[in-house]
Amino acid sequence: MKKYPTKDEILAIPMSFDLTTLNIVKEWKTKDWKEARKHTTNPKEKFKAIERLLQELAGHFKITDLKVEWVPEASDCYVSTLKNKISLNRRLSIITALHELAHILNKSDDEKYACRWSIWLYMQTFPITFKSVPPDSRNMRKNREEEYGFCKF
């Protein structure tokens, strides 16, 4: 069974990101994500937007063969670091997608790194949304319909 870090472990040491990484996410948020959220009845649009974000970030980190697939019937999201392949389930969580990309960037199944990387990047690029998550939220869930990720928080 995988061991996910605690909130204290995630927040103990701040992570910093290069300006290009931050700008990629911020620009994506104001264009692609804003547009995709208009299509609330069409989750495929949200998937396409998240896929574009992951591809752009992967390109920035010199990963040219990233494969991203949407498997709505899957119970979990998963990653194959050997194949640079990310599979996302029906929830289409930004933090979860970033988490899976972190495994590929780090070339490992290190959950602490993936949780820290995805949550700190989200905190720095979605600060208002992140602050709206109740501090006692176990799985960083804002509400039942919108999940922010699965790292214990």
Q: Residues 34-60: what's their mean pLDDT?
A: 91
pLDDT of res. 4? 84
Q: Are 149 and 119 in contact (CB under 8 A)?
A: yes
Q: What is the pLDDT of residues 124-139, one digit of tens each?
A: 999 998 888 655 443 4
pLDDT of res. 19? 98
Predicted TM-score (pTM) of the model is 0.85
User: Which residues are CB-contacts of 59 (< 8 A; sequence separation ≥ 6)?
Assistant: none
Q: What is the mean pLDDT of the chain?
A: 85
What distance, in Å, lies between the first and last C-alpha atoms of the chain?
A: 18
Q: What is the pLDDT of residues 63-90, one digit of tens each?
A: 999 999 999 888 888 888 889 999 998 8
